[in-house]
Amino acid sequence: MPEQAATQAPAEDFSAVQRAFAAHIRDPEHRARPADVEDRRMAIYRDLVFNNIAGLLASGFPVLRRTLPDDQWRALIRDFMVHHRAATPLFLEISQEFLDYLGTTRAQQTTDDPPYLLELAHYEWVELALSVSDDEPDPSHANPNGDLLDDSPVVSPLAWSLSYRFPVHRIGPELQPDAPGEQPTHLVVYRNRAERIEFLEINAVTQRLLALLEDETPRTGREAMQVIAAELGHPEPDKVIAAGARMLTDLRRRDVILGTRWPRSGNED
């Protein structure tokens, strides 16, 4: 038994050093470095880890980075390191971890963050998520030349319909609103066939149309526009349907809509 205890002690000591080492790197102002590591050497690791995380987040959230002064950006990164515990070691997913932190821990703090910070971060994360998404539209699921009114349009899995309080697609160093807009901002962010990430500002009617088309119950384009005309209480539904036809054509041209569902074959259940 004494021999076993003797062999365990160094491992336990090393684990304690590792924990102290990591805690100091995350929060050097409040957590002491391991006693047997000189500060000159420790500074190399402090700077390396901080700069790597800051660089990754700056590349993932470039507009957010440009809207914040250097000291505020660095304080935000430090707070993320101190208070957030990532559930993944993958560099590609650090943007998701940062977004989670902004929506939970950071949202509960009293800070001088701009009021659009979380929404802008989400918008930038969507661009990144779509660029690396493994989803690929299956050509066998949609007829690219189908009738968009009389058949059922198919929305691309790489087209995300989003709503924000702030005009996130226009925010930058020259435009930093201090209050939400009078009306929500509706956007479709999508990856087209050329693998480019694009966005389209839409109105509430177009957003409702996309929601109806993505519903589990397949609808033709005409049926979806009839629902919208009824919801609007429009006196001339045919005008709503005609506008919807133009809308659907434009969305197909942009690759937001892939085409229409193929007719079910007679031998399908």
Q: Show the low-confidence residues of the chain (pLDDT under 50).
A: 1-9, 266-269
pLDDT at 11 (0 to 100) = 53
DSSP 265: P
Instruction: Give the architecture-level CATH label for domain 11-113.
Output: Orthogonal Bundle (1.10)
Domain chopping of the chain, boundaries = 11-113, 137-260
In the chain, count of helices (H) and strands (E)? 9, 5
Residue in the structure block whose two tokens are 């690759």: 255
Equal fold, 11-113 vs 137-260: no
Instruction: Give the architecture-level CATH label for domain 137-260.
Output: Alpha-Beta Complex (3.90)
pLDDT at 46 (0 to 100) = 85
At 90-132, the pLDDT tens digits run 777 899 999 999 999 999 988 899 999 999 999 999 999 999 9
pLDDT at 10 (0 to 100) = 56
Q: Are 63 and 172 in contact (CB under 8 A)?
A: yes
pLDDT at 141 (0 to 100) = 81
